[in-house]
């Protein structure tokens, strides 16, 4: 399971129950507990949850969790599409 899918699933589980545990998530995702802890740390850094001993709890704004996460995950610049010059930029006349 990819990291983005795990993060989305963690947020959905928090929305549903308000709390999750590291061991249960690791078993559900088929990853190590260390991987789940890193995922929870990332979400805590983004203020989407609060970590507890052995798990995490929601920060109380359950309806905003998935929306706030999607806003952070879609702001990556694409290397395939370089910035385009603005229409107001004109070439200098040659002398």
The per-residue pLDDT for range 45-94, each reduced to its tens digit, is 999 999 999 999 988 654 454 555 554 554 455 455 455 554 545 555 55
Q: Which two tokens stand for residue 75?
A: 């702001």
- In this structure, is residue 38 part of a structural domain? yes
* pLDDT 10s digits, 7-49: 999 999 998 999 999 999 999 999 999 999 999 999 999 999 9
User: What's the pLDDT at 12?
Assistant: 92
Nearest CA to 58 among 3, 6, 10, 4? Answer: 10
| Strands 55-58 and 49-52, sheet pairing | antiparallel
CA distance 37 to 60: 20
What sign does the CA torsion over 9, 42, 77, 79 have?
negative
**Structural domains of the chain, count:** 1
CA distance 41 to 52: 11
Domain range enclosing 39: 3-71
- CATH number for 54: 1.10.10.10
């Amino acid at each position: 399971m990819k990291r983005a899918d795990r993060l989305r699933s963690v947020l959905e589980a928090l929305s549903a129950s308000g709390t999750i545990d590291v061991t249960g998530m690791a078993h559900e995702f088929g990853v190590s507990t260390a991987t789940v802890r890193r995922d929870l740390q990332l979400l805590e850094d983004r203020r989407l949850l609060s970590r507890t001993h052995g798990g995490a709890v929601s920060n109380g704004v359950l309806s905003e969790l998935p929306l706030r996460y999607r806003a952070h995950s879609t702001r990556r610049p694409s290397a395939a599409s370089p910035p385009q010059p603005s229409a107001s930029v004109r070439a200098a006349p040659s002398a």
